[in-house]
Amino acid sequence: MSTVTGLVPILLVSDVPRCAAFFTDQLGFTTDFLYGEPAFYGAVSRDGVVIHMRHVDDPPFAAAAAKEEQLICASFSVTDVKALYAEFMARGVAFAHPLTVQPWGGTDFHVADPDGNVVSFVTYGA
């Protein structure tokens, strides 16, 4: 019997190196790899959690996120969302949605990549 050991979300982006730079420069991730010339696929990680990026000419989720309030492409669970929010504020990150205590039991905030794909960072029960 096999065990599922993880999940890797894949953001669909118009410029993989630009998106990777956003995650590294703004959010403190590390670029794991960029593949292709020019790069059409890549991965970044932070604290052992990975997110991939794939080039598409017209990112479909970003267009949907512009129409739909709080449409999230990926969500990162973190141990202290308030500390991470403060870190990102100090880095000058623009937030798509501010730090909010949610009625469903978590505290989260959202950030949009350069294409408008929204990712959240959340601590449950915080």
**CATH of 10-57+69-124 given 3.10.180.10, 3.65.10.10, 3.40.190.80, 3.40.50.10420:** 3.10.180.10
HEC-encoded secondary structure of 48-86? CEEEEEEECCCCHHHHHHHHCCCCCCEEEECCCHHHHHH
Cα distances from 46 to residues 24, 50, 56, in angstroms, run 9, 7, 24
CB 100 within 8 A of CB 120: no
pLDDT confidence of residue 106: 95
pTM: 0.90
The amino acid present at 84, given as its one-letter code, is L
Among the listed residues 70, 55, 77, 58, the one whose alpha carbon sits nearest the alpha carbon of residue 7? 77
Locate 14 and state its tokens.
Answer: 């118009």
For residue 100, report the phi and psi dihedrals to the nearest 5 degrees.
-140, 135
pLDDT confidence of residue 60: 79
pLDDT in tens, 13-30: 999 999 999 999 999 999
pLDDT confidence of residue 11: 95
Ordered per-residue pLDDT tens for the chain, 126 residues: 998 888 899 999 999 999 999 999 999 999 999 999 999 999 999 999 999 999 999 887 777 777 777 788 899 999 999 999 999 999 999 999 999 999 999 999 999 999 989 999 999 986
pLDDT confidence of residue 30: 98
